[in-house]
Amino acid sequence: MKTKILLKETDMPTHWYNVMADMPNPPAPPLGPDGQPVGPDALAAIFPMALIEQEMSQQRWIEIPEEVREILRLWRPSPLYRAHRLEQALKTPAKIYYKNEAVSPAGSHKPNTAVAQAYYNKQAGIKRLTTETGAGQWGCSLALAGQMFGLDVRVFMVKISYQQKPYRRSMMQTWGADVFASPTDMTAAGRTILAKDPESQGSLGIAISEAVEEAAQRDDTNYALGSVLNHVLLHQTIIGEEAKKQLEMVGDYPDMIFAPCGGGSNFGGIAFPFFADKAAGKEIQLVAVEPTSCPTLTKGVYAYDFGDAIGLTPLMKMFTLGHDFMPPGIHAGGLRYHGDSPLVSQLHQEGLVDAIAVPQLETFEAGVLFARTEGIVPAPESTHAVAAAVREARRCAETGEPKTLLFNLSGHGHFDMSSYDRYFAGELQDYAYPEEAIQESLRHLPKVGG
Ligand SMILES: *Cc1c(COP(=O)(O)O)cnc(C)c1O
């Protein structure tokens, strides 16, 4: 029985899959401050035209440039594993497969889009990229990609993470990026926050505002976002395309797919290529897994909202907890986003994509079980998918169903060991966001269409 199912480099996909071609209804457009759909020109101040076109394209297959493939080949195709030892520990008749995206240099799926974004910006004559990072996964990925294409990268890192995750910062600097603790005094947004609160610990929303401001003001500089947007999900579909080929090699097909869901990019990445089959009538369940502390798809509303905390971005129709929602300090930093990808949101609204929320302790319990059986220490974000697969495999053990389960191991947890320490010390808690707090934050949604 095979453990690792490996593709040859020459089998790496040559095209990304665009789910918009197979959605039953056209995606809801982003809106500007006037309530009208935003055109390409409005985005051109911070994104290259090639990415803006991908953001709006309805074309089913979009070619991956050879220059991008050449860099992806440093770690792709990524292995698909059959989790024999986890299955045995659970005494389940279910077959469990996982796609290992932890093998990238930065340790997660995020370089799949970082490399593509750096390439298109380079092609457009851009010299530097700005971005924000919370836990540091995205900042590392863009620093790596910028280095590969000779672009300067400036990362606004949320101040509290800058202090608590010094090795993520060193990694970004090793790849040549400049990293600043946000809020800084380099931007108007940062200065405004510091004037009000000189001790501000920062937030993702503030860091986005700083990065966007700098990109909008300089002709040689663009902004890059690590999740949520259509083109980011497009670049991640290489995950699901590879997984499909790998399962074919062993004559299998999943009944259910699980992925952790923050902004929706690794979920869309693994699930969308299978959605094409679902749209053609195949039975398959696609399940986004989120924390109970930031339950966007399971407890939020489907409405137009801002992508950032301050309200600088266009309005996107998505599941949201409200743009001023302040998620508690749970240990899966990459899942603490108030909104979700508009594509994932629309498919969820239409009943084509499922979502569940899992409490923090169950995710760490599953992460430790996975480390002790399969060997890999998962990122706290990834443990959400592990926990969901473990739940389903245990259910199969009760019912005797031999289901085939696939999940995305979106990253490793080597920089998150302090979170595991706190779990072992019994210091972590479950936290379900109180309904009243969600309702309060939803009262501040922008009014659209009068
Ligand atoms: C960023 C991140 C996530 C969540 O982001 P998505 O855009 O929802 O994929 C999940 N896992 C890891 C390891 C991450 O770094």
- Give the single-character DSSP code of 366: H
For a mutational test of ligand 1's pocket, the pick from 101, 265, 267, i.e. the residue with the most ligand atoms closer than 8 A to its C-beta, is 265
Distance from the CA of 260 to the center of ligand 1, in angstroms? 7
* pLDDT, mean of residues 231-260: 98
Q: Report the C-alpha gap between 242 and 231 in whole angstroms.
A: 18
* pLDDT, mean of residues 413-440: 91
331 pLDDT above the threshold of 80: no
Strands in 235-343 per DSSP E: 256-260, 285-291, 301-306, 315-320
Instruction: Output the pLDDT for position 450.
Output: 42
Which is nearest to 274 in space by CA: 294, 289, 254?
A: 254
Which is nearest to 240 in space by CA: 422, 14, 17, 1?
A: 17
CA-nearest residue, atom 14 of ligand 1: 334
* pLDDT, mean of residues 131-160: 96
For 16-59, what is each residue's pLDDT tens digit?
Answer: 999 999 999 999 999 998 899 998 888 999 999 999 999 999 99
For a mutational test of ligand 1's pocket, the pick from 171, 227, 384, i.e. the residue with the most ligand atoms closer than 8 A to its C-beta, is 227
Atom of ligand 1 nearest to the CA of 135: 15
144 pLDDT above the threshold of 90: yes
Give the up-direction half-sphere exposure of residue 201: CA atoms within 13 A in the CB hemisphere: 6
Query: Per mean pLDDT, which range of 110-114, 346-350, 441-445 is the poorest?
Result: 441-445
Instruction: Output the pLDDT for position 237.
Output: 99
Which is nearest to 370 in space by CA: 410, 329, 428, 400?
A: 410
Instruction: Output the pLDDT for position 449.
Output: 56
| Contact predicate 164/201, CB 8 Å | no
Look at residue 63 and give its three-state secondary structure. strand
277 pLDDT above the threshold of 50: yes
| Contact predicate 72/269, CB 8 Å | no
| Contact predicate 223/131, CB 8 Å | yes
CA-nearest residue, atom 3 of ligand 1: 334
Higher-scoring residue by pLDDT: 326, 102 = 102
Distance from the CA of 208 to the center of ligand 1, in angstroms? 17
65 pLDDT above the threshold of 80: yes
Mean pLDDT over all residues of the chain? Answer: 95
For 384-411, what is each residue's pLDDT tens digit?
Answer: 999 999 999 999 999 999 999 999 999 9
For 174-192, what is each residue's pLDDT tens digit?
Answer: 999 999 999 999 999 999 9
* pLDDT, mean of residues 198-206: 87
What are the C-alpha distances in Å from 201 to residues 161, 182, 192, 331?
A: 9, 8, 14, 17
CA-nearest residue, atom 13 of ligand 1: 411
Domains in the chain: ranges and CATH: 64-107+231-442 (3.40.50.1100), 111-225 (3.40.50.1100)
Please report which helix (H) or strand (E) contains residue 118, including its range: helix 111-123
Distance from the CA of 266 to the center of ligand 1, in angstroms? 6
CA-nearest residue, atom 1 of ligand 1: 334
Q: Report the C-alpha gap between 42 and 57 in whole angstroms.
A: 17
For 97-112, what is each residue's pLDDT tens digit?
Answer: 999 999 999 999 999 9
For 66-101, what is each residue's pLDDT tens digit?
Answer: 999 999 999 999 999 999 999 999 999 999 999 999
Look at residue 26 and give its three-state secondary structure. coil
Residues in the chain: 450
For a mutational test of ligand 1's pocket, the pick from 225, 335, 336, i.e. the residue with the most ligand atoms closer than 8 A to its C-beta, is 335
326 pLDDT above the threshold of 90: no
351 pLDDT above the threshold of 70: yes
329 pLDDT above the threshold of 70: no
Q: What is the dihedral of CA 441, 442, 448, 450, to 10 degrees?
A: -100
Q: 380: cis peptide before it, omega within 30°?
A: no
Pocket of ligand 1 (CB under 6 A): 108, 110, 137, 227, 260-267, 334-335, 379, 381-382, 410-411
Instruction: Output the pLDDT for position 308.
Output: 81
Distance from the CA of 195 to the center of ligand 1, in angstroms? 32
Distance from the CA of 334 to the center of ligand 1, in angstroms? 5
Distance from the CA of 262 to the center of ligand 1, in angstroms? 6
- Taking the whole predicted model, whether its pTM rises above 0.85 is answered as yes
